[in-house]
Amino acid sequence: MKQMPYFQWILCIFTTLFMISCSQHRALEPPSNLPAENLPQIGTRQPASPRNTPRPAILSKIIHTAENQLRSNKPEAAFHTLERSLDIDGQDPLIWHLMAKAQQMQNNFQQAKYFAEKSNAMAARTPSLQKKNWRIIGDVLKKQGRMQEAEEAYENAR
């Protein structure tokens, strides 16, 4: 009876070894450092995808409110209104354009240029909006005394 536990233990080991020897051995592939295909990569610009759906009504209302605030010379209020709209659709180039306009009106030229460039990156399907963004970029560059770059921006606005 004392040998029975040893026998079971040995039987278990042999069974395990037998099962291991019958399994398929596959060579593991080393992990690849290449990025997966069709996935957006951090830090790279993604091509603008065309807007297939109309803008949500609430977003249109917020944009309309911000445009009225800009016309009423209330750029700070317009900017805060537009910031709220980013939660709804952060990929709408019009929002970023209006934010650029609001920053330009407040003499925050670097921010205005940044927002205009961001809007341009998303506005592949709206050349008229791109032209407006290029005008903002040209104005900022002109204020910075970078006349040649400003002229290039104005040329893009034509």
Asked whether residue 141 is domain-assigned, the answer is yes
pLDDT higher at 23 or 153: 153
Residue 82 is predicted with a pLDDT of: 94
Say if residue 143 is exposed, middle or buried (CB neighbours under 10 Å; 0-12, 13-18, 19+).
middle
b or e along 59-90 (b: 16 or more beta carbons within 10 Å of the residue's beta carbon)?
beebbebbbebbeeebbebbbebbeebeeebe
Summarised one tens digit per residue, pLDDT across range 104-118 is 999 999 999 999 999
Asked whether residue 94 is domain-assigned, the answer is yes
Asked whether residue 2 is domain-assigned, the answer is no
pLDDT range class, residue 130, cuts 50, 70, 90: very high
Tokens 């004392």 belong to: 2
Q: How far apart are CA 131 and CA 133, in angstroms?
A: 5
Summarised one tens digit per residue, pLDDT across range 27-69 is 666 666 655 666 565 655 555 555 567 888 999 999 999 999 9
Question: What domain range includes position 146?
Answer: 57-157
Asked whether residue 37 is domain-assigned, the answer is no
Domain count, the chain: 1
Asked whether residue 69 is domain-assigned, the answer is yes
The CATH number given to whatever domain includes residue 132 is: 1.25.40.10
Judge if pTM exceeds 0.75.
no
